[in-house]
Structures are given as structure tokens and as C-alpha cells.
């Protein structure tokens, strides 16, 4: 509940819904079924020849992406691009059926991002619990006026993690 969902494909299994569901699929029997079941809040009819205009519109109208993107077409090309519709911290559900030779190539930054601020409360809880041991990770501490030495210690790999303290 409360999630926005982008569903690529309108097959029967994918029509189970969510809170705000956008169904993106070519016109035809499956899209007709999706509409008759009221599976989506919005329907994007994808061109079978060149859906780039519809994809561009989806991105423009949803600049932060979707909480959940379900790739249920079995198209490697759509799977490859699906990750670009997932909001930071969202989920990509790979549900399509692909042949064993199918491969996708995503930059690691699309799959994992260590600067997700929404994870800070959970990280603090783990630190407070004592289950996560961090002693020794920050092995060099510098004053603000020593910022150049701090950066150099990171560059020359003499620091695991360096910290700047403020008086």
C-alpha cells in the first residue's frame, strides 16, 4: 500500500495491482484485459515499432521513478532499461522469462548506492545495537585546517577512512 508501481507487460500474473499502478504494454488482448480488470490507474500504450516516445513520456511524468518496477515482458531490451524507472531505494522485480543466453549490463551505481539517506536511521540502529563493529575503520583523524592532508591520506591509501573533526 502506498507504493507506485510501473508494470511493463500486461500478462495475467502481473495484473495483481498495487496502490498507484501504471501499466505499460502494447495495445491488444492483454492490455484490453488489464483495462477491463481495472488493474491500473494509468495505461501507456507502447508502440511495437518504436516505443521511445512513450518511454520518454513515462520518465518525464515520473522524474523520481517508481517504488516498484515489474519487468514481465521477457524482453531483454526492456529489462535492460527497466532499472532506469526505479526510484532510489526502490525495487526492480524481474518476472519475465528469458533464454539462458540473455544478459543485461547495469552500472553498479544503479544497483547499489551507499549514499541513500533513507537508510541512515537503520544504520544508526545497527551501530547502537553493538552488532556492527566499526573500531579501526576510521584510522586517521584531522582538524579542519588539515583538510589537504586528509585528502592526501585517502589518495595515497594510508587511511582506511579519514575523518575531519570540528572544534
**pLDDT tens string 89-139:** 888 988 888 999 999 998 887 877 655 666 677 777 777 887 777 788 889
CA–CA dist 93, 73 (Å, integer): 12
pTM tops 0.75, yes or no: no
DSSP label of 135: T
Beta strands in the chain, from DSSP E residues, in sequence order: 4-8, 20-25, 42-45, 66-71, 86-94, 138-143, 161-165
Helix (H, G, I), strand (E, B) or coil at 153: helix
- Higher pLDDT residue, 114 or 64? 64
| Digit-coded pLDDT (tens) for 18-34 | 467 889 999 998 899 88
DSSP label of 87: E
Q: What is the pLDDT of residue 59?
A: 92
Q: What is the pLDDT of residue 84?
A: 92
CA–CA dist 127, 135 (Å, integer): 11
Amino acid at each position: 500500500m502506498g507504493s507506485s508501481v510501473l508494470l511493463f507487460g500486461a500478462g495475467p500474473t502481473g495484473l495483481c495491482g498495487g496502490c498507484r499502478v501504471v501499466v505499460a504494454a502494447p495495445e491488444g488482448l492483454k492490455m484490453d484485459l488489464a483495462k477491463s480488470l481495472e488493474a491500473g490507474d494509468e495505461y501507456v500504450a507502447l508502440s511495437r515499432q518504436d516505443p521511445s516516445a512513450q518511454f520518454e513520456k513515462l520518465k518525464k511524468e515520473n522524474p523520481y521513478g517508481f517504488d516498484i518496477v515489474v519487468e514481465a515482458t521477457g524482453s531483454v531490451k526492456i529489462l535492460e532499461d527497466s532499472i532506469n524507472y526505479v526510484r532510489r531505494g526502490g525495487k526492480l522485480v524481474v518476472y519475465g522469462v528469458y533464454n539462458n543466453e540473455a544478459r543485461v549490463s547495469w552500472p553498479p551505481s544503479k544497483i547499489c548506492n551507499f549514499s541513500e539517506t533513507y537508510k541512515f536511521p537503520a544504520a544508526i540502529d545497527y551501530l547502537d545495537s553493538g552488532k556492527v563493529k566499526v573500531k579501526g575503520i576510521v584510522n586517521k583523524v584531522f582538524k579542519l585546517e588539515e583538510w589537504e592532508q586528509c585528502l592526501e591520506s585517502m589518495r595515497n591509501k594510508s587511511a582506511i577512512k579519514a575523518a575531519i573533526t570540528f572544534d
